[in-house]
């Protein structure tokens, strides 16, 4: 690194650098603004509604001052759990196919297909779920729109990105490790369980957590297929409503306490995402340290 | 056994893409092929007519988002890759903010945009508030790709240009920017794609109105919001929703196709051409 002091030339650099710093702080400012405005909209909630209402009121009925968010939180968590539990194993299987079974053209086509599916907007998935999946489920288990439809659409939506991330994690495994296991003449099943999965553990975990974040935050796809009835589902075919769907449905006409309650659910979502981000960064740091120690 | 499962799962993904595209094409293609679809406004709440005003609103919203986020994104990426050390406190702070921004659910951006741009700054439901909300949303993806393309410039080049007596600022304009241009283009297309696909953040910022917007302070409906509205609120709007979905997906696909071509041409030419 060159170090020259008191050069007029470097003054330009310093000047430019400080301008860039101002521009770079914009992203930090946006984060602060988001937090600030979510809090500003809910600042008088503790005195007007009270924190406990959100957990212990009888139901969600804002016009009657009932603000229980728990059924919708349960809806969000259940649909996310179902989708991630289906999508991650399937994603691992797709990535295994890419690495252990497919030949080159097939691999190329499958990767491109997954990329295309990953790029389709969620509103299109939602619409497709509404006109294709919901009537299909309705034939066997009316009313069709409900937890199962939400889980299916979410699964289809997060599967492509999850498989691509797991695929990338498999690709990042050192060649020698894979070559060594192959040289031992093991079965593919053993290559998978002894080498690929243990080596790509962190990648699979990150893919899982990111998928959880995407599924919890997803609005449109879920909103269009979940039935939008506020209740604890008693079976997987019952209609539900998620936190995100609730905001999208009601923000348009909400006023006063109702509007504040919706912003509270926004803060709740943000909190869940923040926990996920922290967990991911802790795991990554541990992983880096482990790598460092083993060298 | 493993072979059977993985063949099935992979075939299932082809199958899903196949059904999706088949449904969209079989129901939407004929409507989309007529010129009227692109030149007329929606009639009967969208059951008939076209999507001209919606295309215009979409372009305006995405255009504003990109026009605002590119300068900020470029400057941030330059700072992160060229003007700070990797371990600096400030860079750490900025990176963490970007991580958070990238994780915020789009509906929360909608809540924020509604409270900040529409209500606090008094822009109301308008294309401008929608575009600015989206600008906040695409910033992380834009910065990440741009920073990577700056980092891909080999260090020898930086040493070389420093030895010629260029200041850092001059080397940005004469070396880094020209070399990183393909990366910047790819980042921009990714950002445009993300912005075009977005729905939840726009319903409560740019609004629902399906008339031709007269200024950026008018409310305007984007393609994705149009699909949502036709599917959920308009009985009998399915066919138009299919046509609009097909239109939206084709736009996004051609963008990702473009990205792949640019990325590949850069890989093939290597870094030494510019």
pLDDT at B272: 47
Residue pair A54/A36 in contact (Cβ under 8 Å)? The answer is no
Residue that wins the pLDDT comparison between B229 and A284? B229
Locate A268 and state its tokens. 């709740």
Q: What is d(CA A130, CA A127) in angstroms, rounded to the nearest whole number?
A: 5
Residue pair B52/B35 in contact (Cβ under 8 Å)? The answer is no
pLDDT string in tens for chain B (274-residue length): 788 888 888 888 888 888 888 888 888 888 888 888 888 888 888 788 888 999 999 999 999 999 999 999 999 999 998 888 877 888 888 988 898 899 899 999 999 999 999 999 999 899 999 999 999 999 999 999 899 888 888 889 989 998 998 888 888 888 888 888 888 888 888 899 999 999 999 999 998 888 888 888 889 899 999 999 999 888 888 888 999 999 999 999 998 888 888 877 765 555 544 4
pLDDT at A157: 92
Q: Is residue A191 part of a domain?
A: yes
* Structural element, H or E, at residue A60: strand A60-61
Give me the domain span that covers residue A103: 69-294
Q: Are A220 and B6 an interchain contact pair (Cβ–Cβ within 8 Å)?
A: no
Q: For A162-195, write each residue's pLDDT tens digit.
A: 999 999 999 988 888 888 888 888 888 888 888 8
- Look over chain A and give the mean of its residue pLDDT values, rounded to a whole number: 87
Residue pair A263/A43 in contact (Cβ under 8 Å)? The answer is no
B235: which residues sit within 8 A by CB, 6+ positions away? none
Q: Are A37 and B120 an interchain contact pair (Cβ–Cβ within 8 Å)?
A: yes
Q: For A107-154, write each residue's pLDDT tens digit.
A: 999 998 898 888 899 999 999 999 999 999 988 887 888 899 999 999
Give the gap in angstroms from C-alpha A124 to the nearest C-alpha of chain B: 6
pLDDT at B13: 85
Q: Are A121 and B198 an interchain contact pair (Cβ–Cβ within 8 Å)?
A: yes
Partner residue facing B107 (CB), from A21, A132, A248: A248
Partner residue facing B238 (CB), from A26, A131, A163: A131
CA angle B197, B202, B208 (to 5 degrees): 110
Q: Is residue A17 part of a domain?
A: no
Find the residue in B nearest to A95 (Cα).
B6
Provide the pLDDT confidence category of residue A228 given band limits of 50, 70 and 90. confident
A219: which residues sit within 8 A by CB, 6+ positions away? A122, A244, A245, A247, A248, B105, B106, B107, B199, B200
Return the CATH fold of B34-269: MetI-like fold (1.10.3720)
pLDDT at A294: 63
pLDDT at B5: 86
Q: Is residue A37 part of a domain?
A: no
Find the residue in A nearest to B141 (Cα).
A27
Residue pair B80/A24 in contact (Cβ under 8 Å)? The answer is yes
Using DSSP, how many helices (H) and how many strands (E) does chain A show? Answer: 15, 2
**Per the structure, how many domains does chain A have?**
1
pLDDT at B266: 67
Partner residue facing B13 (CB), from A31, A113, A274: A113
Q: Is residue A268 part of a domain?
A: yes
Query: B115 contacts in A (CB within 8 Å)?
Result: 37-38, 40-41, 263
Locate A180 and state its tokens. 């060594």
Q: Is residue A178 part of a domain?
A: yes
Domain range summary for chain B, segments of one domain joined by +: 1-29, 34-269
Q: Are B168 and A25 an interchain contact pair (Cβ–Cβ within 8 Å)?
A: no
pLDDT at B274: 41
pLDDT at B76: 93
Is residue A234 helix, strand or coil? Answer: coil
Query: A124 contacts in B (CB within 8 Å)?
Result: 20, 24, 227, 245, 248-249
Locate A108 and state its tokens. 């190329």
Mean pLDDT of A156-160: 93
Q: Which residue has the tokens 């997954």?
A: A114
Find the residue in B nearest to A11 (Cα).
B167
**CATH code for position A119:** 1.10.3720.10
The ipTM value here is 0.88
Query: A281 contacts in B (CB within 8 Å)?
Result: 99
Q: Which residue has the tokens 């963490």?
A: B96
Give the gap in angstroms from C-alpha A197 to the nearest C-alpha of chain B: 14
How many CB pairs below 8 A link A and B? 234
Q: Is residue A128 part of a domain?
A: yes
Cα B53 → chain centroid: 20
């Amino acid at each position: 690194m060159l170090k020259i002091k008191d050069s007029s030339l470097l003054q330009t650099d310093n000047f430019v650098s400080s301008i860039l710093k101002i521009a770079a702080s914009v992203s930090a400012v946006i984060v602060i603004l988001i937090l600030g405005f979510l809090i500003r909209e809910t600042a008088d909630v503790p005195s007007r509604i009270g924190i406990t209402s959100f957990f212990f009121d009888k139901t969600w009925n804002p016009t009657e001052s009932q603000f229980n968010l728990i059924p919708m939180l349960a809806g969000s968590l259940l649909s996310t759990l179902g989708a991630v539990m289906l999508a991650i194993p399937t994603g691992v299987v797709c990535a295994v196919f890419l690495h252990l079974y497919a030949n080159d053209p097939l691999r190329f086509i499958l990767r491109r297909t997954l990329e295309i599916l990953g790029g389709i907007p969620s509103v299109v998935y939602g619409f497709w779920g509404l006109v294709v999946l919901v009537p299909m489920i309705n034939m066997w288990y009316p009313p069709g729109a409900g937890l199962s439809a939400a889980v299916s659409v979410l699964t289809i939506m997060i599967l492509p990105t999850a498989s691509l991330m797991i695929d990338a994690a498999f690709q990042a495994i050192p060649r020698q490790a894979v070559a060594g296991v192959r040289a031992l003449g093991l079965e593919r099943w053993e290559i998978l369980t002894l080498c690929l999965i243990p080596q790509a553990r962190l990648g699979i975990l990150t893919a899982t957590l990111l998928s959880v974040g995407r599924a919890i935050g997803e609005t449109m796809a879920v909103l269009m297929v979940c039935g939008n009835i506020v209740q604890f589902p008693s079976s997987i075919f019952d209609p539900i409503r998620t936190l995100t769907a609730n905001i999208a449905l009601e923000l348009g006409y909400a006023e006063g306490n109702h509007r504040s309650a919706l912003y509270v659910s926004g803060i709740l979502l943000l909190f869940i995402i923040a926990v996920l981000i922290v967990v991911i960064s802790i795991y990554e740091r541990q992983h880096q340290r482990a790598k460092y120690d083993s060298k | 056994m493993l072979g059977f499962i993985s063949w099935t799962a992979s075939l299932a993904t082809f199958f899903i893409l196949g059904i999706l595209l088949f449904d969209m094409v079989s129901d939407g293609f004929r409507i989309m092929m007529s010129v009227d679809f692109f030149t007329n406004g929606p009639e009967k709440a969208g059951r008939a007519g076209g999507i001209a005003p919606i295309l215009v609103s979409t372009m305006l919203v995405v255009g504003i988002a990109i026009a605002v986020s590119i300068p900020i994104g470029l400057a941030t990426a330059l700072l992160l890759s060229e003007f700070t050390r990797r371990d600096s406190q400030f860079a750490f702070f900025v990176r963490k903010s970007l991580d958070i921004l990238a994780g915020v659910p789009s509906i929360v951006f909608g809540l924020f945009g509604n409270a900040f741009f529409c209500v606090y700054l008094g822009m109301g439901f308008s294309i401008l508030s929608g575009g600015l909300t989206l600008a906040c949303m695409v910033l992380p993806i834009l910065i990440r790709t741009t920073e990577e393309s700056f980092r891909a410039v080999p260090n020898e080049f930086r040493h070389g240009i420093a030895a010629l007596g260029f200041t850092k600022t001059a080397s940005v304009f004469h070396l880094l920017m020209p070399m990183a241009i393909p990366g910047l283009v790819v980042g921009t297309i990714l950002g445009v794609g993300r912005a075009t696909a977005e729905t939840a953040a726009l319903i409560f910022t740019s609004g629902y109105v399906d008339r031709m917007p007269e200024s950026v302070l008018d409310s305007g409906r984007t393609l994705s919001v149009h699909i949502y509205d036709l599917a959920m609120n308009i009985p009998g709007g399915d066919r138009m929703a299919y046509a609009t979905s097909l239109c939206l997906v084709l736009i996004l696909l051609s963008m990702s196709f473009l990205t792949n071509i640019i990325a590949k041409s850069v890989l093939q030419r290597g870094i030494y051409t510019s």
